[in-house]
């Protein structure tokens, strides 16, 4: 199943994968080597911990490889006139103007104004055109957003 992602998000996944496969994997291999040098592995906490860390690392690498393989990059330059992943959307709610960038879930960072397409607000905005209204569920209850501009 393809997951939509921006080019920037895909690049971050690739960078994280490269870091894990090189730097992090070398660190864990070195920990294992040192633990094995201590002898009796049956009661060696360092060895057991390093093996557990190695297993978690390999699982994370496999997860990232799967995400990259299934990623479908959404062109941020495609202007369909509708909110989509990669769109920057200016909205108005209760007299307050807000700007959100709609991104894939793994790219979301509300402090930077990046909201997930799967979030209540993000999913409410998806597919809407300028001038339309969208209702999203927030911690304060249902909130209506008027779409002012899509970039």
**Residue 78 domain-assigned (yes or no):** no
Task: Calculate the dihedral angle through the C-alpha atoms of 149, 3, 18, 100, rounding to the nearest 10 degrees.
Answer: 20
What are the CA-CA distances from residue 114 to residues 21, 24, 47, 83, 129 (Å)?
A: 28, 28, 41, 14, 19
Pair 45, 103 in one domain: no
Q: Measure CA 27 to chain center.
A: 25
Extract the tokens encoding 98.
């807000």
pLDDT at 6: 81
In this structure, the strands spanning 141-150 and 88-93 are antiparallel
pLDDT at 121: 92
The alpha carbon torsion through 58, 62, 65, 70 (nearest 10 deg) reads: -170
User: Pick from 45, 73, 101: which residue ends a domain?
Assistant: 73
Q: Has residue 79 been placed in a domain?
A: no
Question: Which pLDDT value is given to residue 89?
Answer: 94
Same domain, 47 and 94: no
pLDDT in tens, the chain (151 residues): 557 788 888 999 999 999 999 999 999 999 999 888 877 677 778 888 999 999 999 999 999 999 999 888 876 555 568 898 889 999 999 899 999 999 988 889 999 999 999 999 999 999 999 999 999 888 888 999 999 999 8
Residue 69 lies in a domain: yes
The total domain count for the chain is: 2
Residue 26 burial by Cβ neighbours in a 10 Å radius (0-12, 13-18, 19+): exposed
What would the two tokens of residue 142 be?
A: 């249902």
The helix (H) or strand (E) run that includes residue 120 is helix 120-125
* End residue of a domain, out of 48, 73, 98: 73
Q: Report pTM.
A: 0.65
């Amino acid at each position: 199943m393809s997951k939509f992602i921006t080019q920037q998000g895909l690049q971050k996944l690739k960078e994280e994968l490269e870091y894990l496969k090189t730097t992090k994997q070398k660190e864990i291999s070195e920990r294992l080597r040192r633990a094995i040098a201590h002898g009796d592995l049956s009661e060696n906490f360092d060895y057991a911990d390093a093996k557990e860390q190695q297993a978690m690392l390999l699982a994370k690498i496999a997860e990232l490889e799967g995400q990259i393989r299934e990623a479908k990059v959404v062109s941020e330059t495609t202007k369909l006139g509708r909110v989509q992943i990669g769109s920057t959307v200016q909205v108005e709610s209760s007299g307050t103007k807000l700007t959100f960038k709609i991104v894939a879930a793994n790219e979301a960072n509300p402090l930077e104004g990046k909201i997930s397409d799967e979030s209540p607000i993000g999913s409410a905005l998806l597919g809407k055109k300028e001038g339309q209204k969208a209702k999203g569920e927030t911690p304060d209850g249902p909130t209506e957003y008027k779409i002012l501009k899509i970039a």
